[in-house]
Amino acid sequence: MMNQHKSKDLDTSDWKTINIEYLEDYITLKVPLACDTLRMKPTPPLKEVRKEIEDSFEKPVQSKTLDEILSLHKKPADQITVAIAVSDNTRPVPYRCERDENILSPILSRLARAGIRKDNVKIIIGSGTHAPTSRQWKKKAFGEEVSKTYHFIDHNCYSEDLVPIGDVMGIPVRINRDFVQADIHIATGLVEAHFMAGASGGRKAVCPGMVNIEATRVFHGPRFMANENADNLVFKKNPCHEFAMEVARRVRVDFTVNVLINGDHQICGIYTGELEQSHQKAVDQLRHFSLVNIENKYDIVLTHGGKGAVNHYQAIKGAWGALPALKKEGHIILLAHNQDVEPIGSQYYKDLLKKFMEVGLGNFYPLICSPDWTFTSDQWELQKWEQLFTRIGGFNQLIYCTVNIPPKVLDSLPGISGYEFTEEAPKDIGLMLQNAINYCFSLKKNPSMAFIKEGPYVVLRSQPS
């Protein structure tokens, strides 16, 4: 049913304004004066970004430089094949080669300088189980010239052509053939908090980025997802991190490029070199500016899914990040742009959402653990959604705000549809958010409220008051 949630008339004349990130812009909203803003520690961008990126390639962590690795190879330069693993459209990695602040052109220029032929370079998009990226996205993400000149390959986790690398934790693992069979393996990525693997980047470019579906079923399996250590910035005894690291070690990554961005999406750190040590350096910096200790919990938490919230599947990261700040029976208001061609997710995900709603909260995890259940791609995300709704007290504690999922469809998904608050202008995302805030504020006297400025990129930790 639409428009069941009406807010009482509120006097907001003394409220302050905030700006919440939305795509390449911001939406201005009014919130109570007492609303706390939870945000990353201000982190300046690299001052001379191009120079500092170049310097990182000349001073890699615990590794020879890329130039040295290439020059020491036993093959003649014009016969050396190179595979570069890159991220897909769910990560805002600065790859576009026309810009100074990019991490791809320093790799390509070094390959060219070493005499590596362009037709011996393959750029593999480590999309895991995600849908293949479009030609238009590749052009926008990497630049027109590079997207035309180099051979781009979207990983297919279902391919029969993947190469076995042996068993990891008892599971046969197979890897993208184009990556494994190249002479030189380069992995790139953005290091940001990840609500399953601790952080993205490093080993994740390989696993789950370029593995077979069977390995993904372990990495994203019910047992790993239920582990309390599978969370933001947790690595010790985190099964997702440990599994991915073992897979990446088996594959042999010759050179890694890990980049960090601040709350304004500017490059604020870059670490190249050996797989584990360069990633650890990046994680250390990430922890310093993204981890925020909080003493209070709030009745209302406003957040967003960031640029990565291309669909409903990805948007959970914003809601998950709000959990430490939320009081029992409080409300999360989540903004998600959902501008993907499939704004909900894959057909697997859509079918699983329907199943989740059919069986009810608390019954999905037992279902996927039952011997009669057939593992289905994307079930891990529904398992995390169930964990979230269980922790916040049910579907009515999340208001999901988007204008890119049709009203009838959003009504059928877990949570309160943002369209409940936009009777007069259903496509006005600002009005939707403002009315959702007003509604939550009208539910009790003087509710407390917090705004998570950088959404999923902030990692909150509750501290005893």
Q: Running DSSP on this structure, what letter comes out for residue 148? A: H
CA distance 465 to 450: 17
Q: Is the peptide bond before 239 cis (omega within 30 degrees of 0)?
A: no
Give the per-residue pLDDT at 10: 85
With cut-offs at 50, 70 and 90, classify the pLDDT of residue 6: low
Closest C-alpha among 99, 101, 100, 141 to residue 123: 141
Q: What are the domain boundaries of the chain?
A: 16-33+295-462, 49-289
CA distance 203 to 191: 11
pLDDT at 333 over 90: yes
Inter-axis angle of helices 275-290 and 239-251, nearest 10 = 150
> Average pLDDT in the 267-290 region?
98
> Average pLDDT in the 294-312 region?
96
Give the per-residue pLDDT at 9: 73
Closest C-alpha among 255, 279, 258 to residue 269: 258
For 102-151, write each residue's pLDDT tens digit: 999 999 999 999 999 999 999 999 998 888 999 999 999 999 999 999 99
Give the per-residue pLDDT at 131: 84
pLDDT at 3 over 60: no
> Average pLDDT in the 297-315 region?
96
Give the per-residue pLDDT at 62: 98
The torsion angles phi and psi of 455, rounded to 5 degrees, stand at 60, -125
Tell me what percent of the residues of the chain surpass a pLDDT of 90.
91
- What DSSP string describes 209-261? TTB-HHHHHHHTSHHHHH-TTSSTT--TT-HHHHHHHHHHHHH---EEEEEEE
Give the per-residue pLDDT at 129: 86
With cut-offs at 50, 70 and 90, classify the pLDDT of residue 2: very low
Inter-axis angle of helices 105-113 and 49-58, nearest 10 = 50
The CATH code of the domain at 16-33+295-462 is 3.90.226.30
With cut-offs at 50, 70 and 90, classify the pLDDT of residue 349: very high
> Average pLDDT in the 221-240 region?
96
Tell me what percent of the residues of the chain surpass a pLDDT of 70.
98
CA distance 176 to 169: 19
368 neighbors 429 (Cβ within 8 angstroms): no
pLDDT at 226 over 80: yes
> Average pLDDT in the 205-222 region?
95
For 357-373, write each residue's pLDDT tens digit: 999 999 999 999 999 99
Greater pLDDT, 426 or 161: 161
Count of Cβ atoms closer than 10 Å to residue 163 Cβ: 15
- What DSSP string describes 354-376? HHHHHH-TTSHHHHHHSTTPPP-
pLDDT at 1 over 50: no
For 60-73, write each residue's pLDDT tens digit: 999 999 999 999 99
pTM of the model: 0.89
Give the per-residue pLDDT at 368: 97
CA distance 294 to 38: 9
With cut-offs at 50, 70 and 90, classify the pLDDT of residue 435: very high
Give the per-residue pLDDT at 90: 83
With cut-offs at 50, 70 and 90, classify the pLDDT of residue 78: very high
With cut-offs at 50, 70 and 90, classify the pLDDT of residue 15: very high
Fold classification of 49-289 is Rossmann fold (3.40.50)
